[in-house]
Amino acid sequence: MIRAALLAALLVLAGASAHAQLPLTSPKWNDLTPKERQVLAPLASDWDKLDATRKQKWRGIADRYSRMSPEDQQRAQQQMRPWAQLSPEERAAARQQYKDMRQLPPEKRDEVRQRWQQYQSLPPEKKDELARKAPPPPATPAPAPYGARPRTPGNAAPPGAAQRPPAPAAPAGRVPAPAMTPPPGERASGR
């Protein structure tokens, strides 16, 4: 009986320690394996500036690299450095743009790709001119405070009530490029 209780306690402790969250390691460039350094070479100059979470994600990509098709390997290498240099907000916007693109009908997707390729072939001066002429993206409203009800005709603000000022516009002259391919390491299955 005591032996069974001791065994049960050991199993519970072993399970608890196996499920304990391990701290993320933030290895230096020289701590990577030669294989990881080879795959992640485009990130060498920026590696030590990345946070631990991003380093772990890139190491996961390096681990999957050998199982990627040659085309996916090439695309991952080409996109690695620009992707790593994006801010978290820019990466989130690129992911959302990719998801939005995947939801378009095939003919609309082809049209967008064709227009993007035309834009890419323009000389830098023409791109700058278009960026200056582009209207700023629509401002997104600030989120309502937690628990606040959205305004509806039956729930309208009383006359004379203070209105929230409009959200600031995006910086002028910056036109985000559409994300045409998934971020490195993500599959085209819509993850």
Which residue type is seen at 118? Q
- Dump pLDDT digits (tens) for 173-183: 544 554 455 55
What stretches of 20-164 show up as alpha helix (H) in DSSP? Answer: 34-39, 52-64, 70-84, 88-103, 106-120, 124-133
- Dump pLDDT digits (tens) for 5-51: 444 444 444 544 444 444 567 899 999 999 999 999 988 888 888 88
- Dump pLDDT digits (tens) for 92-127: 898 899 899 889 999 998 998 899 888 889 898 988
What's the pLDDT score for residue 54? 87
| Alpha-carbon distances of 27 from 47, 49, 99, 149, 157, rounded to whole Å | 9, 11, 32, 46, 54
